[in-house]
Amino acid sequence: MNRQDLLDQIEADIIAKNICPDLAKTAKRLVFGSGNIDADIVFIGEAPGKKEDETGEPFVGAAGKFLDTMLATIHTNRSDIYITNIVKYRPPNNRDPLLKEKQAFLPYLMRQLEVIDPTVIVTLGRHSMEAFLPSAIIGQNHGQAQQICTTIDGVAYNWTVLPLYHPAAALYNGGLRQTLYDDFATIPNIINKIHKLDKSLPK
């Protein structure tokens, strides 16, 4: 199976196993993820909103437009990256996803990441950050890449994770815009450093 087939299987498994049935009942569709399945960067938000629920695509509302603007500042666009959320169904009235909902979807997110195998995972907002860095505080840890090793369902994963504020936060708090731009500017350097390190390691 190629990468797309593997991702399609994960999406089918979520539906077949009826993950978070209460959310599935109130949502119009599953929003699995989209973008380049060979991407160096995977962006992870918290959950779909109204626009995402309607279209089936993540980050297509106002926050998504701001994300596109920030991607342009590092000479990147949607076709270069993969983007998804921890929770794949829209919570009612756009409420925050519950801990049990995030925990239910986490193994499927990890399988997504295992298939795509990105160089860096960029978490957008507190909810996705805490899935990888449970003790982190976004006000203190944003923009600081960290190496993590975590075990989900008996499978060990090693990732480079860069926590950022959610783009929606900058829409509500203009003071965070420059912070997000500054944090975004570090992404190419982080990727270059990892690639250089990989090349220097003995085969």
The string of DSSP letters for 31-44 reads ---EE-TT-SEEEE
Per-residue pLDDT of 121-135, as tens digits, reads 999 999 999 999 999
Contact 125, 138 (CB under 8 A): yes
DSSP state of 92: G
Residue recorded with tokens 């309607």: 54
pLDDT band at 199 (very low <50, low <70, confident <90, very high): low
The arithmetic mean of pLDDT across residues 1-19, rounded, is: 95
H/E element holding 96? none
Helix (H, G, I), strand (E, B) or coil at 121: strand
**What is the pLDDT, as a whole number, of residue 64?**
92
Tokens of 161: 């994770």
Residue recorded with tokens 């499927």: 108
pLDDT band at 201 (very low <50, low <70, confident <90, very high): low
Helix (H, G, I), strand (E, B) or coil at 32: coil
Q: Is the pTM of this model over 0.85?
A: yes
Around 72, how many Cα atoms within 13 Å sit in the side-chain half-sphere?
Answer: 6
Contact 82, 39 (CB under 8 A): yes
pLDDT band at 202 (very low <50, low <70, confident <90, very high): low
Backbone angles phi, psi at 142, to 5 degrees: -60, 145
Around 163, how many Cα atoms within 13 Å sit in the side-chain half-sphere?
Answer: 23
Domains and CATH numbers, the chain: 3-195 (3.40.470.10)
**What is the pLDDT, as a whole number, of residue 196?**
81
The arithmetic mean of pLDDT across residues 163-175, rounded, is: 90
Q: Could you tell me what percent of the chain has a pLDDT over 90? A: 82
Compute the distance between CA of residue 61 and CA of residue 51 in angstroms, rounded to an integer.
Answer: 6
pLDDT band at 158 (very low <50, low <70, confident <90, very high): confident
The arithmetic mean of pLDDT across residues 75-79, rounded, is: 94
Average pLDDT, the chain: 92
The two beta strands, 82-85 and 41-45, are parallel
The arithmetic mean of pLDDT across residues 79-100, rounded, is: 95
**What is the pLDDT, as a whole number, of residue 200?**
59
Contact 119, 197 (CB under 8 A): no
